[in-house]
Amino acid sequence: MGTRRNTVRCALSGLTILLTCSALGPAICHAQGGALMAGILAQPAPAAAATANTAQSPFFKNLTITGFLSPTYGTFIDSEAIEYNKSKNSLSSARQTLQIDVNNTIGEHDRFFMRDWFVYEPNYPFENTCPQRFGPAGHCNADFYNQYGIRELWLQDTRGPVQLFIGRQILTWGESISFRVGDQINPVDTSWAFGFANLEQSRIPLWMVHPIIDLPDAGPFASNFLEVVYIPGVDFLYTQVDLPTDTLDGQDQVAGRINISAPPGSRFAGRPDNRCDPGLSLCVGGIENAFNRGLAQPPFSTLILHGFSPDTQTTIPRATWANSQVGARIHTLFYNTEMTAYFLYSHNYSPTAEVAQIERLPAGKTPGLRRVNLNFPKYASVAVTANRPLYLPGALAQLPFVLRGEVFSKITTSSTLFSLL
């Protein structure tokens, strides 16, 4: 597989506007853009504020709404890559993101949180070339990146030593400083986050039940608690599923259970490498056909060069008891070292290819179809993490050095493995 060569992305994060509104008394809102503070729009007198709070219902008394609008612009700086993509437009990102957060305290024990995302990206000229190479005519990636609706939605109930979180959440087990090692709870979206997002934005929330139980100290072991997670798999997804390859058609009800990758023909997708033995009649056409079906990387090109044109079937794990995801993590502070260990039963978020049956035509004819199944094998895993500050001598002691370590190991429990005959 070939990739876009020597391509440099230049991103300009536009002016971010922060909005904060509180329901304490009359509307008090802030607007902040860069270093500009618009100030308080309305400032009630203390007596007036106290009178307003008395008349408010308990629901609105602690209601807080915050948010921001963030434009992100990026360009490709590589004339060779632009020529290779047959596009005169170097725009690689013009993403507009509106985030709205709603927080509320309900009664003595409960807290409510909701985060909404409204994302718009234009119809990029380069991605309009997909009908010629990547899918049916008129079926591009024009609406793939747009998102609208609830991103996170959960209720926290705290009673004694137990905190219970129920809803659509992001849960991080592991360090995730630069790469995902132990951070394996949530799938990730790399269709646009590849070049312009942080890890928090790239994670895909899941519906889960997540209790945290405080445990008593035991000698040098302090700050002890136990976390448990149960993910039933009812992760419906209605945006970022309309691929030009129709790979996920009919699976919207569970499409939120796996990673979202760059669709074929998009800005950050892989590119096919058509260089091969010219003596093979299926050389170029075979690779293009494979790419149309979503097989954008080796060893599928090798499969085609051996005379087989693959067809694929993507099967996302359904929301059944057998496909549930469960895990438990223990946390402790041993003197100055923070340590965790966890067990997780889950499934791969990226597909594993299984080469299945071969349908051959009569002797002397063109080789037939070879079925390739893209599955998401289950696995059981264990992981440990540790963090410890480093105390350096003299003036170096002021530097915030921390030693971090993380180990993650998993055993695939499914027999679905890739093999190439």
Instruction: Please check whether residue 344 lies inside any domain of the structure.
Output: yes
| DSSP-assigned states of every residue in 183-248 | --SS-BB-SSHHHH--HHHHBPPEEEEEEEEE---BTTEEEEEEEEEEE-------SS---TT-TT
pLDDT digits (tens, 9 = 90+) for 154-183: 999 999 999 999 999 999 998 766 678 889
- The percent helix, strand, coil of the chain (3-state, each to 5) is 15, 40, 45
Instruction: Please check whether residue 33 lies inside any domain of the structure.
Output: no
Reduced to 3 states (helix: H, G, I; strand: E, B; else coil), residue 162 is strand
Query: Sign of the CA dihedral 84, 85, 90, 91?
Result: negative
Identity of residue 120: Y
Number of domains present in the structure of the chain: 1
Confidence at residue 276, expressed as pLDDT on a 0 to 100 scale: 47
252: which DSSP letter?
T
Structural domain boundaries enclosing 366: 9-23+62-412
CA geometry: angle at 244 spanning 199 and 186, to 5°?
25
Identity of residue 234: V
Q: Which residues of the chain fall below pLDDT 50?
A: 1-16, 20, 22-52, 54, 131-135, 273-309, 414-421
The reply to whether omega before 272 is within 30° of 0 (cis) is no
The answer to pTM > 0.85 is no
pLDDT digits (tens, 9 = 90+) for 257-303: 999 888 877 777 766 544 444 444 444 444 444 444 444 444 444 44
- Residue 50 CA to residue 45 CA, distance in Å, equals 9
Tokens of 301: 């090109």
Q: What are phi and psi of 49, to 5 degrees?
A: -65, -40
Confidence at residue 259, expressed as pLDDT on a 0 to 100 scale: 92
How many beta carbons lie within 10 A of that of residue 292, not counting itself? 19
Instruction: Please check whether residue 43 lies inside any domain of the structure.
Output: no
CA geometry: angle at 136 spanning 131 and 139, to 5°?
70
- Residue 166 CA to residue 157 CA, distance in Å, equals 9
Instruction: Please check whether residue 38 lies inside any domain of the structure.
Output: no
Confidence at residue 282, expressed as pLDDT on a 0 to 100 scale: 43
**How far, CA to CA in Å, does 166 sit from each of 65, 110, 171?**
21, 11, 12
How many beta carbons lie within 10 A of that of residue 238, not counting itself? 13
Confidence at residue 419, expressed as pLDDT on a 0 to 100 scale: 31
Instruction: Please check whether residue 124 lies inside any domain of the structure.
Output: yes
Query: Are the beta carbons of 89 and 74 closer than 8 angstroms?
Result: no
Instruction: Please check whether residue 30 lies inside any domain of the structure.
Output: no
